[in-house]
A and B are shown apart, each in its own frame.
Chain A
């Protein structure tokens, strides 16, 4: 027997002890289970970060966002346009130092394609309180198929450092349930003090 700071003399490629073999077997099997779970969850799981990916110039993305706002704007909230697109629409959320625009008003159960991109530096899309996090990279349009599964008043917190105003970068997403309209302040366009 020798220690880790001594040179093993002669041939060290020796048979492995039974207890070690059992451990290696268990560890290897577990690694295979983990690996199998990755594609399995991808196919069977309901929440994957994969989407439609395109390159996009920040100017072009801004133009698309502005057109989207002009087409579907229904109001204003704290200076930000509130947009209510029809189900199935392509919807745009632009990140820039230090705001998310526009405020989105979506319908529960309807599917949308949410396009995320940044007009300047990296930002982080973090949907609160659901805790869904997506990286927002300038030059890339990340198209995610989303179906809001519950009504409520959500926030979009920036969780990628983007400069001195980073901590003030908060956006808003409102999901309304047509079957049971949400009453009260959650949908009245006043973000501060809204229910959650």
Chain B
């Protein structure tokens, strides 16, 4: 196993050989999952667009299951593991302690993924992403999720271990950088999330082999501790990537560490309560429970997002002003590098996540709006603005820096890469808004045929629905083109790309970092 460090000639960060290798492995696995989920996405889209209505019913629900699992679990979590190996060892100038543990974690995640993929593709798990009990899948589906979650938990533990090792070996001065702090936030939320996953999928696995019973309402409550909280790992990781991309693209600065870090702590404390949004029209819970939980403890997690929504763009503005773009109110924005896909991704991610995803999400958290939105297309309209236009867009943006800095390859097809964020974010925006409109007419989500041609009673949606669904399909297809370009550019750059002209890469064993002989700082962070 290769050890030692190289010094990045661009950022002058010291990068451990195993950090390089683990970031690469996890990023590649994430991209494969994105490709599978993306193909399924197009098939699902072309079926819901009633004009085409591509797939049969059984295949539609199967592809919807495959789309959900690959995008929301495999793509996102593999990528987040790569983010953690960057935020930990790389940003802290530290080695990966016990790299073998990192590889075991990766292997477990791959094995879990393969088990789930096998059950889904062979039609043994047509239960959709939520797999609500008592809808039954093959036991290996549940076992695969458990093994994947265990792998992710091991990788997260390794991140915590890295923080301790970096501190003991004094590889950095003072407190950990803000991006690492955001990574730590995501890691803590990941522990909460994956514990919920274990708490519900272990009993469900036992139920699937006939050993015990699982209550349908308890399943929904605990499962959403996984299903929604996993999207909160995304939020924390995405905000962390925002700070990272701001720095990499325009040299953004941190306005105030206290504000940004407090906002991350608010996420840890309160954002997991958002899971309760899914249970607002459920029979199992009372009103007081619903009101308290869905307000995220008096909207304190919303406050956190509002703070980041100020400090991230504020840090970009100040960074640009410091570099001389001081004319008028908006020179810093006009002269920003809009042709850099990393920067345009960052801005689209902030704007669409905040104004479309965030606002729709918070409003669904009230009983009276939830009752007209629950399980309609408004819900996927919301989360395609958060997870896709927000998280996935930010992750795509940071890839344009991971490829030159970690894979040390030039970005292939640069002109295509430049327009990729515009296509992806623009298409997704049209897609999300159209879905939201369709949902206000009561169009259900997860539905093969909204003409209800085989139903005993006729249902006819307003003709406006046909129009909106057509616009939705256009938006989705534009976004799919953007997604395809992303995969083409990244895969081509990594496997067939031109190496960066940065001199030969040498990993050398080096001693403690400068400053290691100084006393440990008192501040913890």
Contacts and interface: CB of A to CB of B under 8 A. Distances in A.
Interface of A: 1-14, 16-17, 20, 23-24, 27-28, 30-32, 34-35, 37-39, 41-42, 45, 47-51, 53, 78-80, 99, 116-118, 120-122, 124, 126, 128-142, 155, 157-164, 166-172, 191-194, 196
B91 interface: yes
A4 B57 contact: no
Contacts of B246: 3-4
A193 B372 contact: no
Interface of B: 11, 13, 57-58, 61, 91, 126-128, 130, 132, 134-135, 172-179, 215-217, 220, 243-244, 246-247, 251-259, 261, 279-284, 286-287, 290-291, 294-295, 298-300, 302-303, 306-307, 310-311, 314-315, 318-319, 322, 362, 366-368, 370-376, 440-442, 444-450, 452, 454-460, 462, 521, 523, 525
A20 B259 CA distance: 9
Contact of A50 (B286, B302, B458): B286
A3 B247 contact: yes
Given A137-B283, A155-B457, A159-B444, A10 B174 contact: yes
5 shortest interchain CB distances as A-B pairs: A4-B243, A142-B283, A159-B444, A191-B457, A31-B299
Contacts of A2: 253-254
Nearest to A3: B247
A138 B216 contact: yes
Given A5-B177, A159-B376, A167-B449, A41 B366 contact: yes
Contact of B367 (A13, A50, A78, A193): A50
Contacts of B130: 161
A46 B283 CA distance: 18
Nearest to A26: B306
B207 to A, nearest CB: 13
Given A27-B303, A42-B287, A159-B444, A170 B254 contact: no
B251 A3 contact: yes
A126 B372 CA distance: 9
27 contacts: A3-B247, A4-B178, A5-B11, A5-B91, A5-B243, A8-B174, A10-B523, A12-B523, A27-B307, A32-B299, A39-B291, A78-B456, A121-B134, A121-B216, A130-B442, A131-B442, A132-B371, A137-B220, A155-B457, A157-B442, A163-B126, A164-B57, A164-B61, A166-B446, A168-B452, A191-B457, A191-B458
A166 B298 contact: no
A79 B455 CA distance: 12
B459 A155 contact: yes
A41 B369 CA distance: 11
Given A159-B445, A191-B457, A20 B174 contact: no
B135 A42 contact: no
A34 B283 CA distance: 24
A30 B309 CA distance: 15
Of listed A32, A80, A133, residue having the most chain B CB within 10 A: A133
B251 to A, nearest CB: 7
Nearest to A39: B291
A167 B448 contact: yes
B290 A50 contact: yes
B244 A140 contact: no
Contacts of A172: 457
Nearest to A41: B368
A32 B444 CA distance: 33
B46 to A, nearest CB: 16
A10 B173 CA distance: 8
A133 B374 contact: yes
B175 A12 contact: yes
A11 B387 CA distance: 35
Given A133-B375, A159-B447, A9 B283 contact: no
Contacts of B307: 23-24, 27
A9 B173 contact: yes
A24 B457 CA distance: 53
Given A4-B178, A131-B376, 4 more contacts: A5-B91, A9-B173, A161-B127, A168-B456
Given A135-B282, A135-B283, A161-B61, A129 B442 contact: yes
B257 A12 contact: yes
Best-buried of A38, A169, A172, A194 by chain B (most CB within 10 Å): A38
